[in-house]
Amino acid sequence: MSEKSKLLYTPEQRIKRDKTIWTLVQGVLAPLQFLVFLVSITLVIRFLMTGKDYEIANYSILLKTFVLLLIMVTGCIWEKVVFDKYLFAQAFFWEDVFSMLVIFLHLSYVYCLFTDAVSPDSLMILALCAYGAYFINAAQFLWKLRVARKEYEALQKKSTHQSPEIFNQGYAS
């Protein structure tokens, strides 16, 4: 396998990533979603421990679900711009697969909430399962950001010993 094929981004993809507004959108929505997650998980655990504020916990989960769906749609657009594929681009294939589980669990919660399919405690346990899956998925994406940063640093070091042409091909940030 060539070094270029092992990279998370080709030079062309890195240029697209750096130029698109959707990278900024993802960069804003991801921490927002994590903040909503932190507040919501606190409210869910509080309900499970005290039985108080069931409605507020539900609203927070619905908000978290909305932000999740928003980041998924904008992420699909970002993936299309950068990789020319709406979902399951090779570089983010497993993250996208796991995202489907995260969405399924969140939407299962919404279905159960609106159909009264389960008890309030069971509904909150389902929300915690969705949040656990979300946390794992967020860690997957953070790992990919780290990989991309390490690749960039390695290419920078390599370019100090060789021609800096690679940076003229889109690797410079």
Confidence of residue 33 (pLDDT cuts 50, 70, 90): very high
Residue 10, pLDDT score:
85
Determine what percent of the chain is predicted with pLDDT higher than 70. Answer: 88
Other residues' Cβ atoms within 10 Å of the Cβ of residue 40: 23
Residue 161, pLDDT score:
59
Is the residue at 98 inside a domain? yes
Is the residue at 92 inside a domain? yes
For the stretch 116-155, pLDDT in tens is: 999 999 999 999 999 999 999 999 989 988 887 787 777 7
Is the residue at 51 inside a domain? yes
Is the residue at 17 inside a domain? yes
Residue 162, pLDDT score:
57
Q: Nearest Cα to 33, choosing from 77, 59, 71, 6?
A: 71
Give the mean pLDDT of 161-166: 54
Q: Nearest Cα to 22, choosing from 70, 67, 63?
A: 70
Read off the pTM: 0.82
Is the residue at 84 inside a domain? yes
The DSSP code sequence of the chain is --HHHHSSS-HHHHHHHHH-HHHHHHHHHHHHHHHHHHHHHHHHHHHHHH---HHHHHHHHHHHHHHHHHHHHHHHHHHHHHHS-SS--GGGHHHHHHHHHHHHHHHHHHHHHHHT-S-HHHHHHHHHHHHHHHHHHHHHHHHHHHHHHHHHHHHHHHHHHS-THHIIIII--
Is the residue at 121 inside a domain? yes
For the stretch 55-108, pLDDT in tens is: 999 999 999 999 999 999 999 999 999 999 999 999 889 999 999 999 999 999
What length does the chain have? 173
Query: What is the number of structural domains in the chain?
Result: 1
| Cα–Cα distance, 99 to 144 (Å, whole number) | 14
Is the residue at 144 inside a domain? no
Note whether 71 and 29 are within 8 A (CB): yes
| Cα–Cα distance, 105 to 132 (Å, whole number) | 10
Residue 8, pLDDT score:
83
| Cα–Cα distance, 136 to 132 (Å, whole number) | 6
Is the residue at 166 inside a domain? no
Structural domain including 17 reads 10-139
Asked if residue 52 has pLDDT above 70, the reply is yes
